[in-house]
Every structure is written in C-alpha cells, then in structure tokens.
Structure 1
Amino acid sequence: MPVRVVETSSALSQPSGGTSGNTLPSVCTLLSVGQAFSGTQNVSSQQKDEAWRVNVRIQGCDLDHGYLCGTMEALNVPMADTPVVTFWEGEIVDTKNYTFFTGKWGATSEDDIKHWTKFPSFSPLLSQVDIDGGKSLDLNNYPYIFMRWKEQYFVNVGTDCGLTIAGFYYVCFSSTDGSINGFYYDPNSSPFQKLELKSTNEGRLGFSFSSYELQ
C-alpha cells in the first residue's frame, strides 16, 4: 500500500529438480490460517528514505486452488491518523493453477522476470521460467514458495487516504524459517519497494490486531 510516487528505474541455472509435473508446494505450518508476520516495507524514493512497520495475517488458504488471502496493516503511515489495513488475495505459483507469468495487473513477462530475479532463490528456476513460465517445474520439494499478493480494498479507511493499492506484490516465502520477502509493482509508484516480514513467535495466536469486519 505505497504512496504513489512516479520514478524511473532500471533492473535485471538450470531448473531445480528438473522433473516435470504440476505439483503443489509443500505445505508449511507457518503458511496457514491465523499465522501472523511482522516487519517493514521500504517506501524510499529519490526524495526520502522511509520504512513503514507492517503486520500481515493469513485469513484463508486453499492450496488445491493456489489461493490464500489475508490482511496487511501499515502502522506508521505519515498521512494517516490510524494504522491502515487492507485486505489482499494471493496466488501461489504452483505450476498448476498459476505460473511465474502474471498475465494481468499491467505486468508484462519482462516485468515478472525483473521482479522474480530480485529473489536469490529464484535463480535456479530462471532458465525454465524463460521457456514456459515454469509450467514444467516440480516445486513440490522446493524450500521456497513464490506468490503474488493483490490488495483488494481498504478495510478501515477510505480511498482518499493518500495511498494506492493499484499494484501488487511479488512474494517469496521461505519454508525453512517462515520469513517473507516481497517487492511491490505499480508503474506509477516508486519501483521495487521491498517488503520484509518474519513469522511472529506467537505462532497462530500472532500479534494483536484491532477488530475489523471483512466483507
């Protein structure tokens, strides 16, 4: 949920496990309903250096269909009097329901590659993704789960809050330590805003959110 800041930028082996097949990423208890994460999103631009504190909670997960959803709470947004909460829906790159190519939200395959290659864990997959978006990859035992998170609406503030949710996040989840890294994509916002989250020690109890009704 970054501030809309227009800014110019420039960016940018073999597949792991080379066997074909459309299998789902391994299920990790840290990527389950109720799990909470906490960290920061860097919203720096040429004019300022700024990081917002961010909390995320998983609200729903359907691995068979490559779907998950949750809430994201930004705590120290300069133009907001209260924490800003959004509801997001996610696509799990499982090579069955979704590939590494987004195909919507204004992202081209070139945009996809530029963002996925920001994750070191993506490097072994790059050559196969270049060919078919990763359709022939077997990610079942890969220790990282790649996702896209798209914020759908503001939960507790209006659309005039000074923030935009027009873009989406490229996300990489580590099943080893439960950490999440992401990069926000929106052509009209400053590029490669980095999201860094760690699973909270409380597990499914997580941290305390204010009470919001999702509709």
Structure 2
Amino acid sequence: MPVRVVENSAPSQVSGANPGHTSPPACTLLSVGQAFSGTQNVSSQQKDEAWRVNVRIQGCDLDHGYLCGTMEALNVPMADTPVVTFWEGEIVDAKNYTFFTGKWEASPEDDIRHWTKFPSFSPLVGQVEADGGKSLDLSNYQYIFMRWKEQYFVNVGTDCGLTIAGFYYVCFSCNDGSINGFYYDPNSSPFQKLELKSTNEGRSGFSFSSYELQ
C-alpha cells in the first residue's frame, strides 16, 4: 500500500510565536476508513494478559489537529462480546495541541514520562521540556504524536468490566502505518502498551462489524 515517506528524519525549530506551517505530514495510512489491528498488554503483577484490539479511523482533520474512531477489544475476560468504544484524538502539531496534556489528571511530568517511552521522541525531549514543543516544526517529521481519549461505549454498558477514564499517548509512523501507544490512568496498571499494524482495510481477511454511532 502506498504511503508518503518523509525524507527529513528530524524536526526543526520554527521562528515566530504562532507558526502557520506546522500541520503534520499527510500520511496515506492516517485517513478515514483505515483499519489497524494488534494487541494491548494489560498485564499486572498478578498475571500476564493481552487483548486483541482493532481500530478504525472514522474522522480526520489535520488542520485542526483532530481525529476520531472506534476501538474494539476482543477476549476481554468480563465481557461476553467484543467491547467497542468511540474515541476522539488530539494530534500534537504545536499549533492546536502541544505535548503537554493539561487535563485528564496528567501532569507535565506524566507527559514526559510517557512520551519518552517512544524512541522517536528522543530528538524532541529538550524542546518539549522547555516549552511543550511549541517552537517545533513537526510538519516534516515521519512520526505523528497523538492522544486518544475514549468517550463512550458503543455496544455494551459500563458494567462490561472496562474503564475508559484514562487516555492513550500514541505514536504513529508515517513510514509503515504502525501505531504504538501507552494507556494512562492513575487507577489502572501503568504503561499498558498498545501495538497496532495497518491492515489492508478488509481486502485480506480483516473486516469490522458495522456499528451506528449516535
């Protein structure tokens, strides 16, 4: 599947307080309808456990740093059926959103602790610690950083055994469409890792059930 490969391997700093050219790169694999499949590690001290996870992007507006989609968790122990949630995302573009979350019980220290889990964040850490990354031009970087916040359950009730109180720190690779993420919730196991790969969007053995989002 074709994907735009960005030649520049490192971001640059931009001049001016409000740069207007910091939209993230337009990656082919970050678009409406694109599907991803993988796992979320939910291991605790008591047991090792991983859920199979499917994600589909339902909306994407790079200019405003917004995207949304559905997440389907399979083999959830306390649920009789796969659990589907609707999430909304913030794209870190230094224009609409910075690396500092500023809500959802996440402190700047929590932000840095989670972002530094991604190797691709290493070139950015100094500037992010200084100003949240406001002076970075991320438009030519081959990685897109995001936060995904689940908003509600689509097909089950709140008694399904899952919580959506937290959110995901997410890193998307424009080179191969892979997604890595870490779930943050002070009341859940720390650093639950999300690992997803882009699928062929139903063309080879993978498809989503149909859900109507109200």
TM-score in same-fold range (> 0.5): yes
- Aligned partner of residue 38 in structure 1, secondary structure: strand
2:155 is matched with which residue?
Answer: 156
Taking the aligned partners of 1:204 and 1:187, their CA distance within structure 2 comes to 39
Q: Is the 8 A contact 1:35 1:203 kept in 2?
A: no
Q: Is the 8 A contact 1:181 1:195 kept in 2?
A: yes
Q: Percent identity?
A: 88
Kindly state the Cα deviation for residue 19 of structure 1 after the two structures are TM-superposed. Answer: 3.2
Q: Does 1:123 align with 2:122?
A: yes
- Provide the TM-score with structure 1 as the length reference: 0.90
Per-residue deviation, residues 97-146 of structure 1 (Å, max 9, x unmatched): 00000000000000000000000000100000001100000000000000
* Counterpart selection for 1:17 from 12, 17, 25: 12
- Provide the TM-score with structure 2 as the length reference: 0.91
Letter in 1 for 2:186: P
Q: Greater relative contact order (Cα 8 A, min sep 6): structure 1 or 2? A: 1
Alignment of 1:131-146 (within 5 A): 131-146=130-145
- Aligned partner of residue 126 in structure 2, secondary structure: helix
Taking structure 1 as reference, are residues 131 and 205 closer, same or farther at Cα in structure 2, changes over 3 Å only?
A: farther
- Aligned partner of residue 46 in structure 2, secondary structure: coil
Taking the aligned partners of 1:103 and 1:203, their CA distance within structure 2 comes to 37
Letter in 1 for 2:125: L
Q: Is the 8 A contact 1:69 1:90 kept in 2?
A: yes
Taking structure 1 as reference, are residues 95 and 206 closer, same or farther at Cα in structure 2, changes over 3 Å only?
A: farther
Taking the aligned partners of 1:126 and 1:70, their CA distance within structure 2 comes to 28
Q: Does 1:74 align with 2:73?
A: yes
Q: Is the 8 A contact 2:58 2:68 kept in 1?
A: yes
Query: What residue ranges of structure 1 are gaps of 5+ in the alignment?
Result: 1-14
Kindly state the Cα deviation for residue 210 of structure 1 after the two structures are TM-superposed. Answer: 1.7
Kindly state the Cα deviation for residue 186 of structure 1 after the two structures are TM-superposed. Answer: 0.1
Kindly state the Cα deviation for residue 50 of structure 1 after the two structures are TM-superposed. Answer: 0.5
Kindly state the Cα deviation for residue 204 of structure 1 after the two structures are TM-superposed. Answer: 8.6
Q: Is the 8 A contact 1:73 1:85 kept in 2?
A: yes
Taking the aligned partners of 1:43 and 1:195, their CA distance within structure 2 comes to 9
Kindly state the Cα deviation for residue 211 of structure 1 after the two structures are TM-superposed. Answer: 1.8
Q: Is the 8 A contact 2:201 2:207 kept in 1?
A: no
Q: Is the 8 A contact 1:88 1:149 kept in 2?
A: yes
Kindly state the Cα deviation for residue 18 of structure 1 after the two structures are TM-superposed. Answer: 2.8
Q: Does 1:99 align with 2:98?
A: yes
Kindly state the Cα deviation for residue 16 of structure 1 after the two structures are TM-superposed. Answer: 3.2
**Following TM superposition, where does structure 1 have runs of at least 4 consecutive aligned residues deviating by more than 2 angstroms?**
18-22, 201-207
Q: Is the 8 A contact 1:103 1:109 kept in 2?
A: yes
- Aligned partner of residue 113 in structure 1, secondary structure: helix
Letter in 2 for 1:141: N
Query: What residue ranges of structure 2 are gaps of 5+ in the alignment?
Result: 1-9
